[in-house]
Structure 1
């Protein structure tokens, strides 16, 4: 055993997750609760990026435009499930000293581990695909840059990642938090401009029979739920919580877990605000004006300013989209590094890893844009979300299995009530993703 961890280190030896970044961020061993919490703030915000990336925007826009505030209850439920699963990912990393990729490699036979790695790499590429498209659309909306050139320009973010990683993990977190603040402020301003009726908004957070009885509402609700938990976020969170230099003892781990869960819960409440704000904006602007046909990001951008009568509204929308795309770049790169090192023990320079991942995402987008134009790119965005849905069970099920096993988790194994809740959430998410996949394939 190592440092009191219950899980025997086998094939992985003692290699820490994220290498030199592991335990690189100092934390206060004493002082006020707030001072100690501040040292742990950061990983949760990096994880929250995946819950408000460009891939989620179209679903929220369509839900608000077509059904008003009704689907806010679905966004709330999605967020609560995400809080539970991300807390489990943090618990795994802190309790065992492993990230989810390392845990899978150490537990499963090599062929199974390789299959899980291939599935996760596919999901990361699909996520990167959504980021490329979202960032390119934002550049087009803000600067009039043709979509094809915007896609090519996104490849330059390799330089940004290289600079940030050289400056340490706190620099990565600061960059992410700064862009999250921009997204938050942009949507805060848009909500203020839209001035939605407070009573109707609050009523939307209560479950409505329409969600189940109306097939179209149910389909969008499944899309919101199915795209909520990004597979790579679970791998990411289980690794980055270990960047804190907390004592690797039982008491140290318990304290670290409390602060890590607080951090991720606060950050995911921010994600709840952003996703809810997108839907509220669509409901108060498009649905209220009878434009229930609005479904795409560019369509929403075009109509926002005319319907609100404020030219700044569309600009704020595009700025938030650009910040979302850039932010997702950092987390996807880091997740790719964690997955490759955890499953294969293969270490690549961050710039090379990013270049390879981004090239795989850029090439199909360039080809589709050149051949089919913007409409083809929109369909590719939908396809990327379907691919993500396909991979999700292969991340959620191992995670819940590991944190439920006292032989692996020791004193930090989850209690019985949380185990039951976690399996119920996993089953629901898997079922909804399979339903979404089946409906997409069958053209429902």
Structure 2
């Protein structure tokens, strides 16, 4: 774990994709296509399906216009994200860190992490339900199986950004094909479908469903993610290049989000044409939809395709959630952790609550957990949208790419609609919780949390305006003027960590460049034999004696080169042993050899070099 000393979002893939520079506009357009497809899967994740099913089964096609409106809102917000990332070269989390006070930033960070965990919970449950419906696997085992995709993401990230994007495009295509076939089975009436795009709300229940659809459609973590993903394209920082990048990314977003809209619309249309028309007005659970599709449409493929699409939607969405988690952690906290640990933490935050609820209450509460995840997402959405609008409206930072008055008006209108509708949804849910809770202390805590969120929302809106009245210089990094540069003193004691492999050649070759009259050498080797593992410390087995004799050969060679040499064996834990030796001998420099393996081999053979860099307080030279 370390603090990031760079200012690049998703540093490992930042500007890693070359943009086509030839005359072909089509090839140039293709080089920009990709980021929005990673965004689009968040708009068709399993959390959206329940609201689409409920809307279609209860009100037929009447709420199709709500889906269309949600999609247009999402397109505008995602285009603002691309503008922020391309023009300022920073993601939403980094911009928040620059503007808001530390405590507000921490609160915003916690909310963003909760949103990602809630989204991941919906994806885990969706995938588990899909596995249960298709193969009969118990929901609990399905939740645990979803843990395996942790390693799938790590593998895809190593292949590069374009390969990851291609994988997601493939999953989105398969989801679309599943629902295309479902439409063929359902055969909805086109005229009735078109009437659904005329705005209407049959009753108050329809209003509640409409709020749920909007809350489930626009995902807060996507706003963080998109502002970072657009920076994977390597573009020139000139006005024409930026303008061209904005245009192509808007096309990318328009196509990808329209695909997501068609998938969501297909779910609602399927529910309307199959369930609503047959008098089934209370179908909101994914399991109910699966069971009824086969009997109603008379095809065994209809429910199977539904389950397959559900699994694919859960799998694709979980990848983007992890990337978003990396962005918010690095942006808000300037803290980087290994991708494996980040993925494990994110997945555990989703799996542990799901497993606990299933063990305590059984499968019947899975639907309620899906709803709860959407409430958490709704609660966080306004806290991501409002800062985004502030940043792209800042003429000083955005220059000629600042949004105009009309776009600013519609952006703030959308922010108000989202804030009001989502807080209405949260209010209804909280009211329901309070009605079922008799504990006064718990009730006070829930009300206090709600009030605290409202105060935080107000501060999110007004603080940037207050800041403009009393401008303050913010710097992401330590001020350059505060840095003091001094010539480093010569190394007096150099510690060499030897492992008796070919890498020792590189370690010894490196140390030979230092003057024997100035520095002393300390050679150590960490014994990890079976005897040492058993005793937990010193051992006098055959391997230990052989290691000591081998270490003396190295010492004799270096003494022949006029160096002062000391040598010793250490035992059991490589990292702790080397760290303790550096302290014991007051070493000024540590030289270690690199094995050259990475990824899965690091997990199998152990990862020494990377951990050592953070464990010792002296310079580390890695001989490669």
Q: What TM-score bracket applies, with the shorter chain setting the length?
A: over 0.9
Q: State the shift of 1:376 in Å.
A: 1.4
Match status 1:240 vs 2:229: yes
Q: How many angstroms apart in 2 are the aligned matches of 1:49 and 1:290?
A: 31
Match of 2:326 among 337, 341, 344: 337
Answer whether contact 1:161 1:351 (CA < 8 A) is retained: no
Match of 2:247 among 253, 258, 264: 258
Moved more, 369-378 or 316-325: 369-378
Please tell me whether Structure 1 or Structure 2 has the larger radius of gyration of its CA atoms.
Answer: 2
Structure with bigger helix share is: 1
Moved more, 110-119 or 186-195: 110-119
Match of 2:8 among 7, 11, 16: 16
Q: Aligned with 1:442: secondary structure? A: helix
Q: How many angstroms apart in 2 are the aligned matches of 1:398 and 1:308?
A: 47
Match of 1:144 among 136, 146, 153: 136
Q: How many angstroms apart in 2 are the aligned matches of 1:365 and 1:392?
A: 23
Match status 1:37 vs 2:26: no
Q: State the shift of 1:14 in Å.
A: 5.2
Match status 1:54 vs 2:46: yes
Match of 1:229 among 199, 212, 218: 218
User: How does the TM-score come out when normalised to structure 2?
Assistant: 0.68
User: How does the TM-score come out when normalised to structure 1?
Assistant: 0.95
Q: Aligned with 1:256: secondary structure? A: helix
Q: State the shift of 1:12 in Å.
A: 8.8
Match status 1:75 vs 2:75: no
Q: State the shift of 1:13 in Å.
A: 7.3
Structure with bigger strand share is: 2
Match of 2:156 among 164, 173, 176: 164
Q: State the shift of 1:118 in Å.
A: 0.9
Match of 1:386 among 352, 375, 384: 375
What is aligned with 1:25? 17
Q: How many angstroms apart in 2 are the aligned matches of 1:399 and 1:12?
A: 23
Q: State the shift of 1:248 in Å.
A: 2.0
Greater RCO structure (CA 8 Å; 6+ sep): 1
Answer whether contact 2:4 2:330 (CA < 8 A) is retained: no
Q: How many angstroms apart in 1 are the aligned matches of 2:108 and 2:4?
A: 17
Task: Name structure 2 gaps, 5 residues minimum.
Answer: 434-624
What is aligned with 2:526? none
What is aligned with 1:353? 342
Answer whether contact 2:4 2:335 (CA < 8 A) is retained: no
Q: State the shift of 1:407 in Å.
A: 1.0
Q: State the shift of 1:229 in Å.
A: 0.9
Match status 1:267 vs 2:256: yes
Answer whether contact 1:172 1:330 (CA < 8 A) is retained: no
Q: State the shift of 1:443 in Å.
A: 3.0
Match of 2:306 among 298, 317, 324: 317
Q: How many angstroms apart in 2 are the aligned matches of 1:151 and 1:12?
A: 33
Q: How many angstroms apart in 2 are the aligned matches of 1:404 and 1:12?
A: 28
Answer whether contact 1:294 1:300 (CA < 8 A) is retained: yes
Q: How many angstroms apart in 2 are the aligned matches of 1:40 and 1:327?
A: 20
Match of 1:373 among 346, 356, 362: 362
Match status 1:435 vs 2:424: yes
What is aligned with 2:408? 419
Task: Name structure 1 gaps, 5 residues minimum.
Answer: 1-10
Number of equivalent positions: 431
Cα offsets for 1:364-402 (capped at 9, x unmatched): 100101111111121111111111111111100000011
Match status 1:101 vs 2:93: yes
What are the within-5 Å matches in structure 2 for residues 78-227 of structure 1? 78-208=70-200, 211=201, 214-227=203-216
RMSD (Å), alpha carbons: 1.3
